[in-house]
Amino acid sequence: MSASSPFPSGLDRAATVTRLRAAGCVFAEDEARLLISAARTPAALAAMVDRRAAGQPLEHVLGWAEFCGLRIAVDPGVFVPRRRTEFLVRRAAALARRAAAPARQDTARQDTARPRAVVVVDLCCGSGAVGAALAAALGQVELYAADIDPAAVRCARRNVAAAGGRVYQGDLYEPLPARLRGRVDILAANVPYVPSGDVGLLPPEARAHEPRVALDGGADGLDVLRRVAAGAPSWLAPAGHLLVETSERQAPLAAEAVGGGLIPRVARSSRLNATVIIGTRPRGQGE
């Protein structure tokens, strides 16, 4: 038994690091620390290390991913939220704050005017990480999320429950309550956008442990994005925003798709290697 380990025998920290390193884990020290702190018993630790060494994503083994400073529950078979998607959340939160601010005509009564709860939809929600992070950032939101995959929906329900969010199962907008039409301030959609022919080139952790429906965006990767963009104008409130993540290479075509019914612009973070298309519904349309 090592001095620093709570475990009486078997895998201690050094042995865990060695095993993870041999399995090709680049951040073996960090991963060992996380696995050891998550395991209740030596047997549980050994099982977790086995799963990780066999190639399961660390987040699936731990049962959670860190995202926007939150612990998001991530079940096996559910897409692991990526750090780059925090850029979409930051952009969406900034736009939501502006939407929530009291209208100009209320400035005479600024002392009493309170920001309103914005209506947020997290479409293609996976674990619900985007919606949960927006709710945490904004404080008060009316949050709805949807995904086609039942495993994702079950997982998302756990993550958005604290914000009072509702999660629906079905194809894109189809399961959303009709009363949301024309009322959505922020429509966040991190859709699958890997071109079908590139799915086989993804790291094995994604290829083997995340569902194809979470990754494959069709021939040029933009099939789902185009469908989301086509439907967005009828769900967004006037001046509401659609935010979709894409790759830098796909951005021109993605912006063209969003521009069919909304005013598009491209936002980019080189630090996070993230590209987001923001489409805004013009004021005056259908008001």
Ligand X SMILES: C[S@@+](CC[C@H](N)C(=O)[O-])C[C@H]1O[C@@H](n2cnc3c(N)ncnc32)[C@H](O)[C@@H]1O
Q: Which two tokens stand for residue 89?
A: 């959340």
Q: Tell which positions 168-187 bind ligand X, by CB under 6 A.
A: 171-172
Gap between the Cα atoms of 215 and 211, Å rounded: 7
Q: How far is the CB of 247 from ligand X (least distance, A)?
A: 12
* Contact assessment for residue 154 and residue 168, using Cβ atoms and an 8 Å cutoff: no
Which of the stretches 7-15, 189-197, 235-243, 267-275 binds ligand X when contact is defined by CB under 6 A?
189-197
Q: Does 224 bind ligand X (CB under 6 A)?
A: yes
Q: Tell which positions 196-215 bind ligand X, by CB under 6 A.
A: 213-214
Gap between the Cα atoms of 164 and 147, Å rounded: 17
Gap between the Cα atoms of 44 and 48, Å rounded: 6
**Applying CB under 6 A, what is the total number of residues that bind ligand X?**
21
246, β-bridge pairs: 275
Q: How far is the CB of 212 from ligand X (least distance, A)?
A: 9
Gap between the Cα atoms of 77 and 68, Å rounded: 21
Which of the stretches 18-26, 125-133, 199-207, 235-243 binds ligand X when contact is defined by CB under 6 A?
125-133
**219 Ramachandran zone, left/alpha/beta (phi>0; psi -120 to 50):** alpha
CB of 92 or CB of 119, closer to ligand X: 92
Gap between the Cα atoms of 260 and 226, Å rounded: 9
Tokens 């992070």 map to which residue? 133
Q: How far is the CB of 270 from ligand X (least distance, A)?
A: 20
Q: How far is the CB of 127 from ligand X (least distance, A)?
A: 6
Q: Does 85 bind ligand X (CB under 6 A)?
A: yes
Q: Does 125 bind ligand X (CB under 6 A)?
A: yes
- The footprint of ligand X (CB under 6 A) covers 79, 81, 85, 124-127, 129-130, 147-149, 152, 171-172, 190-192, 213-214, 224
